[in-house]
Amino acid sequence: MDKNLKNNFRAKLLTIQKELTDKLNKERLFFQNHNPFQESKDEGDMGEATLESELERTSQKRIYQLLELINQSLKKIEIGTYGKCELCQREISLERLEAVPYTPFCSECQKRTEKTSQ
């Protein structure tokens, strides 16, 4: 992968990183101001609050996972292994990297991991 391409992907990754971090910060602020448990009055409300915070945790967990993948990708750009599939060591196609710049796997390995995890 040449230097311009690397810079291009680094810029993309940093943009996504910033968006995700902003989103996390906004959600954190929102939940500090709107704590669903403090506003609950009876047990029926508690049920909803639990479900809401459960959904909230899921999306935050996903964001943290993405941020972790982004950090790893940025490190790989520095050490020169970016764009290689972690499983089969083949080059990940540029189209795939354009679409999902933080992916650690080529599309074939991704399909395989999705099948086994289901």
Q: How many residues bind Zn ion (CB under 5 A)?
A: 5
Q: Which two tokens stand for residue 95?
A: 């189209």
Q: What's the chain's Rg over C-alpha atoms?
A: 19
Taking CB under 5 A as the criterion, the residue among 11, 55, 88, 94 binding Zn ion is 88
The answer to the question of residue 77 lying near Zn ion (CB under 5 A) is no
Query: Among the residues of 34-103, which ranges form H helices?
Result: 36-39, 43-79, 94-99
The residues facing 84 across adjacent strands are 91
Taking CB under 5 A as the criterion, the residue among 87, 96, 100, 112 binding Zn ion is 87
The answer to the question of residue 69 lying near Zn ion (CB under 5 A) is no
The answer to the question of residue 85 lying near Zn ion (CB under 5 A) is yes
Q: How far is the CB of 86 from Zn ion (least distance, A)?
A: 8
Cα–Cα distance between 67 and 15 in angstroms, integer? 11
Question: Which residues would be at the binding site for Zn ion (CB under 5 A)?
Answer: 85, 87-88, 106, 109
